[in-house]
Homo-oligomer: A and B are copies of this chain.
Amino acid sequence: MQSRQERAGPVPASAIRALIADALAAAGLPRADAELCAELMTEADLTGFDAHGVFRLPQYVRRLRAGGFNPSPEIRVTRSAASTALVDGDNGMGHLVMKRAADTAVAIARETGVAWVGARRSNHAGPAGTYAAMPAAQDMVGLYAAVANANHMAVWGGAEPLLGTNPLAIGLPSGAGPVVLDMATTVVSYGTIKTHALNDRPLPEGWMVDTRTGAPITDAKRSDDGLLLPIGGYKGSGLAIMLGLIAGTLNGAAFGRDVVDFNADDASATNTGHFIVALDVARFLPLARFTAEVDRQLAELKGSQRLPGVDAIRLPGDRRRDCRAERWRDGVPLAPALVARLDRLAAELGIAPLAQRSDQIAR
Contacts and interface: CB of A to CB of B under 8 A. Distances in A.
Given A84-B284, A114-B116, A307-B209, A155 B301 contact: yes
A258 to B, nearest CB: 9
Given A116-B114, A232-B187, A297-B255, A158 B305 contact: yes
Interface residues of A, number: 82
B257 A158 contact: no
A181 B250 contact: no
Most buried by B among A235, A246, A315: A235
B114 A157 contact: no
A118 B300 contact: no
Nearest to A284: B250
Nearest to A141: B246
Nearest to A279: B116
* Identical chains bound together, number: 2
Contacts of A249: 285, 290, 293-294, 297
A172 interface: yes
A211 B307 CA distance: 7
Most buried by B among A116, A141, A234, A308: A116
Interface stretch (A26-34, A237-245, A336-344): A237-245
Nearest to A257: B300
Contacts of A80: 113, 283-284
A158 B310 CA distance: 8
Interface in A151-175: 154-160, 162-163, 168, 170, 172
Given A80-B284, A82-B113, A84-B114, A304 B246 contact: no
A118 to B, nearest CB: 6
A256 interface: yes
Contacts of A213: 307-308
Contacts of A111: 81-82
A119 B118 CA distance: 26
Contact of A279 (B84, B256, B279): B84
Interface of A: 80-84, 86, 111-116, 118, 141, 154-160, 162-163, 168, 170, 172, 179, 181, 183-184, 187, 209, 211-214, 231-232, 234-236, 238-239, 241-243, 245-246, 249-252, 255-257, 277, 279-281, 283-285, 290, 293-294, 297-298, 300-302, 304-310, 312-316
18 contacts: A80-B283, A83-B83, A84-B113, A116-B279, A118-B284, A141-B250, A155-B302, A156-B313, A159-B305, A159-B306, A181-B241, A213-B307, A214-B309, A231-B236, A242-B316, A245-B297, A250-B281, A250-B290
